[in-house]
Amino acid sequence: MNAISLINRVKYNKTIYNLYFHIGSFILNRLKFFVKTDDRMIVFVSFGGRKYDDSPKAIYEAMLKDSRFDECRLLWAFIRPDNYILPRGGKVKIDTFAYYKALLKARVWVTNSSMTRGLRFSGRKTFLLNTWHGSAIKRMGRDINEGNVSFGLKRRKYKFKNYTDLRLAQGQYDVDIFSRAQNLPKDCFRIIGLPRNDELANTSSKLREEKKSKLGIPKRKKVILYAPTYREYDKDERNNVILTPALDLEKWREKLGSEYVLLFRAHYEVAKIMGVKDNGFVKNVSTYPYLNDLIIASDLLISDYSSIFFDYSIQGKPMLCYCYDYDKYAEKRGMYFDIREYLPYADNEEQLLELIQRADDPEILEYAQRFQNKFVTAYGNASKKALNIIHDFLKHNDD
């Protein structure tokens, strides 16, 4: 059994998960009384150790330039630490004893998802800053439909108060949704935006051309970013999530290939299984490490029920929703609002291709602007504000 199959078995088997949760949480909540806190230690985790990216990366890199943190000991946790070279600080392999010991020892945790690997514990004096990884269209946590067996185990974790000292938000919408869905007090939220999006709010045509060149895209070509989310209810015999969107990429190439390049960004849960191949029109960027590069380089976003819409709206570029399976997704996963009321949408491939060809119409751009005005009210300076929060906490602790 490989590591992914083992993780899936723990996640989706109720008996195994209960044993893991109760025994692991008990051990770590006792062990912390034997581990001395390091008041200058900060641990970073992005997407459960899968990446060096997102808001934890933005905070970390801003910290490197801020003399207030020169004395801090910085540690990143990765699934594969050898894959990353850091300008400063150490690395630890996630899901090891050294990882859990580091968490119990650290004064500050910075993450965009979870640090505790499905367990419930903290250090004796831990300050947890959770940036999260986007706003929500699809239902989360306690709001997930009762009949959704894929998330049955995840729902139970929110029966207790969820441990977070401070959560970042892009607007009041985030506060209202996540406070309820993840059982968080509203006073732990700070509406300052997401640090990862500071770059999106401060772009230029020069930066955009640099990103296109980095991706190997000809200057004369327009760029479509297609970034669908996954369907957790569709799985193969090994419990791997699968995705089969209604796409004929050869048809896309015939109609759009002379003018466009398509960046195909599959969710990490399904990227390997989909196996999209590069050609002169399609570039599979599912494993490309920095999503912001793709957002900045592109002229148009196509997605479905993904939180990428919120981030992309900061750029003021057109966004289209390809919701060929809307009714099924709404029934099986559930959504907070009907995305079709806020963005131009297509139910089938022909409609989508027509929308792409008039993506520059003023009315389509107006949809994107209205979406941003409603949902994303704070952006552009979140990294600095997050550093101020962490510094004030550490200074207060020193005093």
Q: What pLDDT score does 248 carry?
A: 86
Please report which confidence band the pLDDT of residue 303 belongs to, taking 50, 70 and 90 as the band edges. Answer: very high
Residue pLDDT, tens place only, 53-86 = 999 999 999 999 999 999 999 999 999 999 999 9
163: its two tokens: 């441990």
Residue 69's closest CA among 56, 59, 84? 59
Q: What pLDDT score does 240 carry?
A: 57
Determine the Cα–Cα distance for residues 272 and 251; give it in Å rounded to an integer. Answer: 23
What's the whole-number mean pLDDT along residues 311-337?
94
Determine the Cα–Cα distance for residues 273 and 364; give it in Å rounded to an integer. Answer: 33
What's the whole-number mean pLDDT along residues 37-66?
96
Q: For the sheet with 345-346, list strands across it.
A: 282-284, 260-264, 222-226, 300-303, 319-322, 345-346
What's the whole-number mean pLDDT along residues 225-235?
79
Residues 122-133, buried b or exposed e (16+ Cβ, 10 A)?
A: bbeebbbbbbbb
Residue pLDDT, tens place only, 170-180 = 999 999 999 99
Q: How far is CA 196 from CA 133, 270, 293, 333, in A?
A: 9, 23, 11, 27
What's the whole-number mean pLDDT along residues 39-53?
95
The string of DSSP codes covering 277-344 is PP-SSEEE-TT-S-HHHHHHH-SEEEESS-THHHHHGGGT--EEEE-TTHHHHHHHT-BSS-GGGTS-
What is the chain's mean pLDDT, rounded? Answer: 88
Please report which confidence band the pLDDT of residue 237 belongs to, taking 50, 70 and 90 as the band edges. Answer: low
What's the whole-number mean pLDDT along residues 253-257?
93
147-156, 226-235, 327-336 — which one is most confidently predicted on average?
A: 327-336
What's the whole-number mean pLDDT along residues 255-268?
89
Q: What pLDDT score does 214 carry?
A: 95
Q: What pLDDT score does 10 carry?
A: 58
pTM (2 decimals)? 0.87
Instruction: Compute how many other C-beta atoms are within 10 angstroms of the C-beta atom of residue 183.
Output: 17
Q: What pLDDT score does 147 carry?
A: 59
Better-predicted residue by pLDDT, 237 or 285: 285
Q: Name every residue whose Cβ is closer than 8 Å to that of residue 11 and which is 6 or more positions away in sequence.
A: 17, 118, 153
Better-predicted residue by pLDDT, 311 or 202: 311
Q: Is 164 helix (H, G, I), strand (E, B) or coil?
A: coil
Q: What pLDDT score does 153 carry?
A: 44
Residue 374's closest CA among 135, 167, 196? 135
Q: Tell me the domains of the chain and their CATH numbers.
A: 3-198+380-398 (3.40.50.11820), 203-375 (3.40.50.12580)
Q: Range with the lowest mean pLDDT among 25-39, 230-244, 347-361, 368-382?
A: 230-244
Residue pLDDT, tens place only, 106-160 = 999 999 998 999 899 999 999 999 999 999 999 988 888 665 555 444 444 444 4
